[in-house]
Amino acid sequence: MAETQTFTSSHLRGLNSGDKFKILGVVQQIKPRADKNNKPFWEVSIVDSEGFIDAKVWSDGKWWDARTGEKTPVDTSSPDISGLFLGAAVGALGTVSEFRGKQQFQFSEVFLLDPERFPISGFIRSSPVPVEFMEREFGEMVASCRPEIREFLENVFSGELWKKFRELPAAVTHHHAYVHGLLEHTLAVTKSARALAEVYKSSGIDMDLDIVTAGGLLHDLGKIDSYRLDPFPGMTVPGTVIDHIALGFSRFSCLAREHGLDKEIETAIGHILVSHHGRKEFGSPVLPATPEAMVVSSSDELNFIMYCWEAFPESGNGEPSISDYHPSAGRRFWRHGLTEKGDG
């Protein structure tokens, strides 16, 4: 493995077809498959501290147990191969390929690594924003609200709920899918919504900034019941079959009743929770119907789109400035290169 350069998942995106590489990480997913000739192959997802890659291991690929420092072949016909590699630290030798104009990765060899030398914690991705800074910002936003709303938010974001909220991801793959991702996303959405609210309030729109703040901070409350870290982002059964919007509204309603929150305030904030995806086809049972709900919903979508733009691979379609089509965002992205040229 020493002859081949080691890359992180993010740097692999910049390689060309035919380039060889080595990557270290943890197997997040491994699925046995069969090709059209009924030969076995595997789809493998490897996670490192900068992201993840999906790769195929064809039937002639080699699987090794190198945990003791000596390479021992692993029998690929064993039904335990998935269990042996899933969640384990591995090294993989691979080659970049291209299929229908899209970059793909193939592993020729996969090695189980010594977990003492390569602990899983070293491959867990976390928010690039220091969590202490985000906690301070969150507390300042809560403190800015009038007493009734501030006291409710302080009650909600405390104890075990706050511990989960600050640690969990905001998604499994699409955006902020890492430790503290939910906190990072929530703060970005709330700051954006507050800025929009200030603009429209100054133009004469009747806008309650405290409702905007509370709705922004609470809009993804249901994700504490929808996602898990074990140690990588995954979905719970309730998150899969009920979804975070319904789970969040249910939890919020119970907390509001327990706290004795004013009914009109409860309804205004609750409306933000159930409408924040903006459209029924995106999972919201109702559309945003208040100024506060509209700015939170718009900010939530914008934060997702901006994250996708920032994270797109720089080698899409053979043109570094244009991304591949992003199904979730419904578009391709472009980096125009004008940012540093000033106003001219």
Q: What is the pLDDT of residues 107-144, one digit of tens each?
A: 999 999 998 899 887 888 889 899 999 999 999 999 99
% of the chain surpassing 90 pLDDT: 65
Radius of gyration for the chain, computed over Cα atoms and rounded to the nearest angstrom = 23
Checking 133-138 for CB contacts under 8 A at 24+ apart, the result is 134/166, 134/180, 134/183, 134/184, 134/187, 135/166, 135/183, 137/187, 137/191, 138/183, 138/186, 138/187, 138/217
Q: Tokens 């609470």, residue?
A: 218
User: What single-letter DSSP state applies at residue 324?
Assistant: P
Residue 236, φ and ψ in degrees, nearest 5: -80, 170
Separation CA 5–CA 11 (nearest Å): 11
pTM (two decimals): 0.78
- Between 98 and 152, the higher pLDDT residue: 152
Q: State the pLDDT at residue 35.
A: 87
Q: What is the pLDDT of residues 142-172, one digit of tens each?
A: 999 999 999 999 999 999 999 999 999 998 8
pLDDT of residue 316: 44
Distance, CA of 72 to CA of 335 (rounded, Å) = 46
In the predicted model, what is the mean pLDDT of the chain?
A: 90
Is the CB of residue 52 less than 8 Å from the CB of residue 46?
A: yes
Spatial contact of 226 and 165, defined as CB atoms under 8 Å apart? no
Write the pLDDT tens digit of every residue in 211-220.
Answer: 999 999 999 9
| Cβ–Cβ < 8 Å for 283, 243 | yes
As a whole number of angstroms, the distance between CA 4 and CA 24 comes to 12
The C-alpha atoms of residue 163 and residue 159 are separated, in whole angstroms, by 6
Q: What is the pLDDT of residue 157?
A: 98
In angstroms, what CA-CA distances link 94 with 56, 230, 325?
Answer: 9, 26, 25
Query: What length does the chain have?
Result: 344
Neighbours of 167 (CB within 10 A): 16
pLDDT digits (tens, 9 = 90+) for 171-201: 887 788 888 999 999 999 999 999 999 999 9
Cβ-based burial of 49 (10 A; exposed 0-12, middle 13-18, buried ≥19): middle
For the stretch 286-338, pLDDT in tens is 999 999 999 999 999 999 999 989 877 644 445 678 888 888 888 989 988 88
Q: Is 30 left (phi over 0), alpha (psi -120 to 50) or beta?
A: beta
Taking Cα atoms as reference points, which of 42, 325, 326 lies closest to residue 173?
326
Domains present along the chain, CATH in parentheses: 9-123 (2.40.50.140), 131-308 (1.10.3210)
What's the DSSP call for residue 52?
E
Tokens coding 148: 């009734």
